[in-house]
Amino acid sequence: MSDQWREYLIGKNAAEKADRDKDHAEQKRDGAIIVANDNRNVYPDAAHEDRKKPNWVEKGTLVVLTLTLFAAGYAGYEAHRLADSTEMAIGDARRVAEGQSKDTAESLKIARDAADAATTAADTALKQAAAAEKQVAVMQGQLNEMRSARVKTH
């Protein structure tokens, strides 16, 4: 698409288009057709090679593309490293959780055993207390008999 039509299509209103059309009027100089654009740069219409972008633009584009490629490669490498680190962290967390689970299970077993032992000790203490009560009752009875026998002898 020629610069004239591109500028014509980009324009925002009729007055701007009219000004651009006037700026793009063909001028004849030394037998060649010359087209002037808004920047007042003059390009020969027939020689498209002269309208090519400067060489530094192409090199700059190549440099930008190369840097973009390296940046994308580095980002991929870092993403891979992050994924590996995350996988290792998950594995470590899993191992720690399994170890803690085993420790908790052992602690629960020890606590259950201690509770069972305490229950058994309490049952034994209750039985001993009941036996002691019986002995106290027997001794009280013997003491009462001794007192009544002593009273009769006096």
- Res 126: pLDDT: 95
- Given a cut of 80, whether residue 23 has pLDDT beyond it is no
- Given a cut of 60, whether residue 62 has pLDDT beyond it is yes
- Res 45: pLDDT: 52
| Listed residue (54, 8, 19, 23) closest to 34, CA to CA | 23
- pTM here is 0.37
38, 7 Cβ separation under 8 angstroms: yes
Domain ranges across the chain: 3-52, 53-154
Structure tokens at 94: 């899993």
Q: What confidence tier does 49 reach under pLDDT thresholds 50, 70, 90?
A: low
